Amino acid sequence: MAIPANKVATQTAKGLGTVDFEKGLFVLNSVWDTLDVKRLPVKQLAWVKDRQFRDGYLLASEVLRLAPGKYNLAGEILDRKTEHVGGFRSRIPVRSFSKSELEISSILLARRVMEKPDRPFGRGRYVILPNPVRETERNRKAYFYFEVYNLASDDFGRTNYSVTYQTKPIATDPQGNEDEWITAVTSEVAGDHPWEPVYLALDVTNAQPGLRDFRVIIEDKLSGQTASESTQYHIRW
């Protein structure tokens, strides 16, 4: 959740905002029955500089563990100093994944992904700063994070797969004509785990501003299976 810094009482410095918030998060099922409520005091949040917001924005996040299904999510922030309240509502489908077929998670658009020096395996390998506004300036890189599941392995426990990244502008032609996918990067990867966390830092310096599609295609060289996943992001001047 992105909170415009000029709308709240905060002191910002060195990537952090000092605040006096109460954060509430409500998880509800598809018919709006409450399943879980979290209320927490918040004293510090990540502060992100962004030209779209006069003083940047504060980033609030929460990790949820949910069974597959359809959920409604509601969140609110109370600024205890100004008594201002902001919030959001969203519907989130939680997918179920096969235990044998090649699959890709949803794609997370991030402002930055950093690898930890000791490179531990798993999600903890990276520090990820999400991009809740889903926009990237042309002078920055667009970061995409996702996970690949159920990779086949050879007799030595090694995996071998290719990753192809493609992008294209969202169609604005009134006739409905769509642009062709453009392959930005293709790489071949060898690993030793049945699942892998993966990210791409895509240089958008020469891209035209506007809404774009982004697609990942995985081909498992050992099993012959393929999987794909896509998302949208916006490039602005």
Mind listing the pLDDT tens digit for each residue in 46-65?
A: 888 776 676 778 888 888 89
Under the banding of pLDDT at 50, 70 and 90, the label for residue 174 is low
Mind listing the pLDDT tens digit for each residue in 182-219?
A: 998 999 999 999 999 999 999 988 888 999 999 999 99
Does one domain contain both 107 and 213?
yes
Q: What percent of the chain has pLDDT over 90?
A: 58
Is the pLDDT at 120 greater than 80? The verdict is yes
Does one domain contain both 48 and 118?
no
Does one domain contain both 107 and 170?
yes
Does one domain contain both 159 and 220?
yes
Q: Facing residues of 28 across strands?
A: 34, 72
CATH number of the domain within which 123 lies: 2.60.40.10
More confident residue, 87 or 218: 218
Is the pLDDT at 234 greater than 70? The verdict is yes
Q: Which domain holds residue 195?
A: 103-236
More confident residue, 117 or 55: 117
Does one domain contain both 169 and 213?
yes
Give the pLDDT score at 150: 98
Does one domain contain both 108 and 179?
yes
Domains contained in the chain, number: 2
Does one domain contain both 115 and 215?
yes
Is the pLDDT at 16 greater than 90? The verdict is no
Domain termination residue (choose one: 45, 67, 94) = 94
Give the pLDDT score at 176: 65
3-state per-residue secondary structure call for the chain: CEEEHHHCCCEEECCEEEEEEEEEEEEEECCCCEEEEEEEEEEEEEEECCCCCECEEEECCCCCCCCCEEEEEEEEEEECCCCCEEEEEEEEEECCCCCCCCEECCCEEEEEEEECCCCCCCHHHEEEEECCCCEEECCCEEEEEEEEECCCCCCCCCEEEEEEEEEEECCCCCCCCCCCCEEEEEEEEEECCCCEEEEEEEECCCCCCEEEEEEEEEEECCCCCEEEEEEEEEEEC
Domain termination residue (choose one: 73, 94, 115) = 94
Q: Give me the residue label for tokens 């502060």.
A: 47
- Highest mean pLDDT out of 44-53, 72-81, 118-127, 169-178: 72-81
Under the banding of pLDDT at 50, 70 and 90, the label for residue 86 is confident
Does one domain contain both 40 and 141?
no
Does one domain contain both 59 and 124?
no
Average pLDDT over residues 26-50: 91
Does one domain contain both 62 and 108?
no
Is the pLDDT at 8 greater than 90? The verdict is no
Does one domain contain both 88 and 114?
no
Domain termination residue (choose one: 74, 94, 114) = 94
Average pLDDT over residues 169-182: 78
Give the pLDDT score at 46: 85
CATH number of the domain within which 43 lies: 2.60.40
Give me the long-range contacts of 116-125 (CB less than 8 A, separation at least 24).
121/193, 122/197, 123/147, 123/197, 125/197
Is the pLDDT at 125 greater than 80? The verdict is yes
Does one domain contain both 161 and 190?
yes
Under the banding of pLDDT at 50, 70 and 90, the label for residue 173 is low
Structure tokens at 20: 């006096």
Give the pLDDT score at 206: 81
